Amino acid sequence: MGLVKTVSIHPLESIQGGMAQFYTPQSCNETMLVQIPGGTIDDLFVHRYQTDQIMVVRGSFVLVILSDRQYKYINLSEHQSQVVTIPPGVPHGAINLKDEPCFLVNAVIRHGIALLKDYQPLKRPFPYNLSQAQAEDVTLNSCSLVA
């Protein structure tokens, strides 16, 4: 029996400390601050030895997951404190149809040495459904997907 790769979305727990809100840190090997410019329709990427843990800190974007030969569109926004976990081997991309950039933190878990191929875009097997992605960008989504 093969392993099932699951993309999951989890709300972040937090505690109030005076005027500040403290959110649960994510265990990781390194953190990256990533900017997705407005008007971005990104290609797919697949990491072989890396788990991404993504949290939007400013703006919003639509995360695209390729699963069972179809795209799943997940809206992520600064207005929802949540982390999306993308395990190795799951093709994923980003769409930001807004004018403003989106900023996110990726708390990366390394499972081995990163390959140059992991950061080179993959050709999309078929075009994104931008109407569906735009509809997702309007409605907030909270789910768990199997890839």
pLDDT at 147 exceeding the cut of 50:
no
Q: What is the pLDDT of residue 138?
A: 64
pLDDT at 140 exceeding the cut of 80:
no
What mean pLDDT, rounded, does the chain reach?
Answer: 88
Check if the beta carbon of residue 51 is closer than 8 Å to that of residue 8. no
pLDDT, mean of residues 38-60: 95
Report which residue type is found at 93: G
So what CATH class is 6-139?
A: mainly beta
Check if the beta carbon of residue 91 is closer than 8 Å to that of residue 65. yes
pLDDT at 1 exceeding the cut of 60:
no
Burial annotation 72-105 (CB, 10 A radius, 16+ → b, else e): bbbbbbeebbbbbbbbbebbbbbbbebeeebebb
Q: What is the pLDDT of residue 4?
A: 55
Q: What is the pLDDT of residues 95-129, one digit of tens each?
A: 999 999 999 999 999 999 888 888 888 889 999 99
- Percent of the chain scoring above 90 in pLDDT: 67
